[in-house]
Amino acid sequence: MAQLETWELWYPDAASNGLLFARARLDPTTVLWAHAAPETLAVVVRGADDRVLARGELLRRDGPRYPMTRLARVGDRVVREDRWPTDADLTSLVVLPGGEVGTLLRWWNAADGSEWRWQVEFYNHT
Structural contact between residues 70 and 94, judged by C-beta atoms closer than 8 angstroms: no
Local structure of residue 96 (DSSP, 8 states): P
Ranges of each domain in the chain:
5-121
Structural contact between residues 94 and 88, judged by C-beta atoms closer than 8 angstroms: no
Whether the model pTM is above 0.75: yes
> pLDDT of the chain along its 126 residues, tens only?
569 999 999 999 998 888 999 999 999 999 999 999 999 999 999 999 999 999 999 999 988 899 999 999 999 999 999 999 999 999 999 999 999 999 999 999 999 999 999 999 999 876
